[in-house]
């Protein structure tokens, strides 16, 4: 158990809908990262927050957005969902924001868009 929690574990929804994925980092970790894992794209970095501020952006679609709240939990919002958005979404956290820092991954949220 990494100490990172993600809810829900599974989410099934329809095209065009909007969903929110939630992540609670390890106690004391200030940095939160979101990743998408799909069969065709592999594991891709989406976005990073550090102590409430956006720190880095990866291959995140405009339909997707995220935020980190004062209690350091983070939410990833996915809107106007398409079939291709079906994937495993991971959250990770680390104490600091450096590239050399180990990231601890949550168990993921499996999103299925029908």
Partner 1 sequence: AQSVTQLDSHVSVSEGTPVLLRCNYSSSYSPSLFWYVQHPNKGLQLLLKYTSAATLVKGINGFEAEFKKSETSFHLTKPSAHMSDAAEYFCVVSDPGNTPLVFGKGTRLSVIA
Q: Degrees (nearest 5) of the Cα angle 5, 77, 28?
A: 35
- C-alpha distance across the termini of the chain, in Å: 31
Among 58, 63, 82, 84, binds partner 1 (CB under 8 A): 58
Beta strands at 19-24 and 74-78: parallel, antiparallel or unpaired: antiparallel
**Of these, 24, 90, 93, 111, which contacts partner 1 (CB under 8 A)?**
90
By the rule CB under 8 A, 51 interacts with partner 1: no
Under the criterion CB under 8 A, does residue 105 sit at the interface with partner 1?
A: yes
Place of tokens 């969903």: 19
Q: Which is nearer to partner 1, 12 or 43 (CB)?
A: 43
Q: How far apart are CA 81 and CA 15, in angstroms?
A: 5
Q: Which is nearer to partner 1, 22 or 55 (CB)?
A: 55
The single residue among 12, 18, 43, 54 that binds partner 1, judged by CB under 8 A, is: 43
Which is nearer to partner 1, 1 or 14 (by Cβ)? 1
Q: Residue 3, by phi and psi: left (phi above 0), alpha (psi -120 to 50) or beta?
A: left
Write the interaction track for partner 1 spanning residues 3-22; mark x where CB under 8 A is met and - where it is not: -x------------------
């Amino acid at each position: 158990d990494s100490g990172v929690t993600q809810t829900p574990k599974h989410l099934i929804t329809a095209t065009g809908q909007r969903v929110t994925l939630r992540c609670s980092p390890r106690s004391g970790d200030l940095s939160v990262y979101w990743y998408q894992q799909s069969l065709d794209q592999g594991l891709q970095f989406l976005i990073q927050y550090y102590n409430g501020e956006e720190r880095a952006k990866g291959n995140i679609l405009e339909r997707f957005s995220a935020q980190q709240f004062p209690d350091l939990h983070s939410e990833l919002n996915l809107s106007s969902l398409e079939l291709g958005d079906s994937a495993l979404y991971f959250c990770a956290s680390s104490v600091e924001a450096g590239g050399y820092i180990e990231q601890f991954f949550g168990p993921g949220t499996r999103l299925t868009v029908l």
